[in-house]
Structure 1
Amino acid sequence: MAALRVLQLLPALESGGVEKSTLEIAEALAEHGCASFVASAGGRLVEPLLATGSTHIALDIGRKSPWTLRHIVSLRRLIEQLQPDIVHARSRLPAWIAWWALNGLRGRRPHFITTVHGLNSPGHYSAIMTRGERVICVSDTVREYLQKHYPAIDSSRLITIPRGVDSNAFPFGYVADEGWKQAFFAEFPQLLGGPMMCLPGRGTRLKGHADAIELLARLHAAGCDARLLLLGADEHGRSAYLEELREQARRLGVAEALAISAPRHDIREVMSISRLVLQLSNKPEAFGRTVVEALSLGRPVLGFDHGGVGESLRRYFPQGAVPIEQPSHLAVRAIEMMRFPPKLSPIEAPSKQAMQLATLQLYQTLCCPFLPESGG
């Protein structure tokens, strides 16, 4: 593989699927002797990024403010300095900044790639994600969404590369060690004493935290002393939303069975001790990585049957898919799984390594067009 130079662009490096994919590609680039650069506003994942051998450039290109436009010149200068072969945008505003920066570039112009990580509202602002020379779709759901809302797009530019799960990081049957369990339950004693459910996700309404608390209350009403962890919901600037969730739990009488945590690095361990992993986004998501990670561990997942989450559940664990128009069915299905835990088998999901290789091959094909192109 040629020693490519790749610049990835995203708003920040805090948490989430966009950020994780960025780190995974950065890791693969470094492993193949390529130069990996990432521009973002920074965050808690900068240190893991640097550990891959990548370079981070602090550039706040994701803030929705007119002031962000000043970074067009900054990014153009950065591109002139780094001389990347590929500029890979993973979010809408960074993609616009990159588009304008590239259009004013003098001399050698890098290839422009986008990855569509979400089912954004269709329109002019979101359409920038379809302007890449290649547009990576993280699932079939994303590809179909783009073809529906942007029918003029050349389908040959759409490359489906599903997000992959690292089977070494999420091995089937994994069980967290006793030392970790003791430390975890010392931090969250309210989660002891009953079967635990876990909903991983940022502190935003679309993740369905309120539905999860409602489910917890329904389980208690049915005599099931379940516990619930909202993993990753406790984020900076979300205090009013978190208080709203805690008030809901108090009103429903389940406050003592609820814990809300900040984003954590030990999601594998948390999932491994969970009786159920929940994915209750109230809007269709592009992929739903935690669904595949939990099922790879052998933990059952309960989620709404739409978007990428529904796509994964129908493929690997159909009994966990609940129609979103019938949220009351969540409790029925949850009680069944609590009383009669389903026996899962290893799934054959796309791997992280396959995702990395397909992306690097796409980079290589654009820069060395005599090579066959992968994906589809």
Structure 2
Amino acid sequence: MPALDAGGVERGTVEFARELVKLGHESIVISNGGRQVETLEAEGSRHICMPIHRKSLRSLALVRPMRRLLAELKPDVIHVRSRAPAWITWLAWRKLPVATRPRLVSTVHGMYSVNAYSAIMTKAEHIIAISDCVHDYITSNYGIDPKHITRIYRGLDPSIFKQNSDNPDWRNRLYQAYPQFKNKRLLVMPGRLSRWKGQEAFLDVMHHLCDLRQDCHGIVVGDAEENKQHYLQELLDKRKALGLDDKVTFVGHRADIQSFYSLADITCHLSNKAEPFGRTVPEALACGCPVIAYDRGGAAESLHQAFPDGLVEADNPEAFARRAHELLEREAIDIQLPEEFYLRHQVDATLDVYRRLLDAPRGG
């Protein structure tokens, strides 16, 4: 993969590597490094630093070093998770002796632009799709036989995301820092500040919701990248224009998002395009927090199974606000998140892909 910094794919890779080690496998991650390398190595995996993150023709110079490395490591399975590393790895792998080379697996984490560069993710011997909508994207755009694709949802670590994970001391510290949250019905909007993530729509939802009731407060959890700080200012300007300065708070990046899920009355997912998976949805559901999301993409798949009452018409903030009002009026909420959204299932299903591929004839 490209690097091991922040992000859902990176965190999922570190968690999966840890589980491999627990099961007695040797786990090696090749990337350009990052803040999560220390955790990865502390949990028993080996990290090899290689600048495979660059989307540049210069990266082709890494093909031969990668081939030598693979010949030295002799792994049973190579698993690629991103396009630039996949190109380097595939070009190195395909020149290894067919009879002895590792089996090659890819995970398609996104619905990338359809072109020759993205097509590399479909050249593996077997493909993992992280949702049904990604599965459909692969088959419809690249003509891949479904027998070469397995849908495996990205699994949640139950030790982090579980019901009743709220901590009273944490709550008291939060109320000291943000007294405006106390005695309010809280709606949380998680995700980095980005135009497609839907923070502008969240402000519209809060504007409509405040017309229906006065006991709510919105919390935006996430920060803008360094080159997108202007977008934060746009959001603050819109908050002021809608008269929401005392109704919506931006708390920036937080490492304790699971506690916000447990505190919140509702988690909101408002991306303005279909997401491949939408990890915040099952995360919040696993913490016992109801989620409202637009009915499209991977984000809707977990809601269809675990909490269908949280689905609303896409791109309709007013309908979103009405649904929030309805849910806040309920005395009880029933959430049933299936096991296939948890890490144990992801590990077992992925190892099953590995084993089936290792047993299959070579040379396809």
Q: In the alignment, what sits opposite 1:3?
A: none
Q: How does 1:247-262 map to 2 (within 5 A)?
A: 247-262=237-252
2:286 is aligned, of 280, 296, 299, to 296
Equivalence for 2:7: 16
Unaligned runs of 5+ in 1: 1-9, 371-376
Structure 1 CA distance for aligned equivalents of residues 113 and 127 of structure 2: 17
Q: Distance in 2 between matches of 1:99 and 1:345?
A: 42
Q: Partner of 2:117: helix, strand, or coil? A: helix
2:313 paired residue number: 323
Match of 1:41 in 2: 32
Whole-angstrom distance in 2 between the partners of 1:104 and 1:241: 46
TM-superposition CA deviations, 1:321-341 (whole Å, max 9, x none): 111143321111112223335
Of 53, 74, 79, the match for 2:70: 79
The answer to whether structure 1 residue 111 and structure 2 residue 103 are counterparts is: yes
- For residues 118-160 of structure 1, the C-alpha deviation after alignment (integer angstroms, 9 at most, x for no partner) is 1222222221111110100112222122112222x12211112
- Of 81-90 and 305-314, deviating more is 81-90
Counterpart check, 1:355 vs 2:346: yes
RMSD: 2.5
Q: Which of 118, 124, 129 matches 1:126?
A: 118
Shift of 1:60: 3.4
Aligned positions of 1:224-243 closer than 5 A: 224-243=214-233
What is the CA deviation profile of residues 77-99 of structure 1, one whole-angstrom value per residue up to 9, with x for unaligned ones? 43234332222111122212222
Query: Tell me, what secondary structure is at the counterpart of 1:228?
Result: strand
User: 2:137 aligns to what?
Assistant: 145
Tell me the TM-score normalized by structure 2.
Answer: 0.89
Aligned residues of 1:194 and 1:225 also touching (Cα < 8 A):
yes
Q: Does 1:92 align with 2:83?
A: yes
Aligned residues: 359
Deviation, structure 1 residue 310:
1.5
Counterpart in the other structure of 2:265 = 275
* Whole-angstrom CA distance in 1 between matches of 2:230 and 2:67: 39
Q: Quick one: distance in 2 between partners of 1:116 and 1:322?
A: 27
Letter in 1 for 2:7: G
- The match for 2:356 is 365
Question: Contact 1:235 / 1:262 at 8 angstroms: preserved in 2?
Answer: no
Aligned-partner Cα distance in 2 for 1:46–1:187 = 32
| Unpaired runs of at least 5, structure 2 | none
Mean CA deviation greater in 195-204 or 327-336: 195-204
TM-score (ref. length: structure 1): 0.86
The equivalent position to 1:185 in structure 2, one of 163, 172, 175, is 175
Partner SS for 2:317: coil
Matching residue of 1:222: 212
Name the SS for the 2:324 alignment partner.
helix
Residue type matched to 2:299 in 1?
V
The offset of 1:368, in angstroms, is 4.1
SS in 1 for 2:27: strand
Q: 1:7 maps to what in 2?
A: none
Which of these residues, 37, 45, 49, is aligned with residue 54 of structure 1? 45
Counterpart position of 2:151? 160
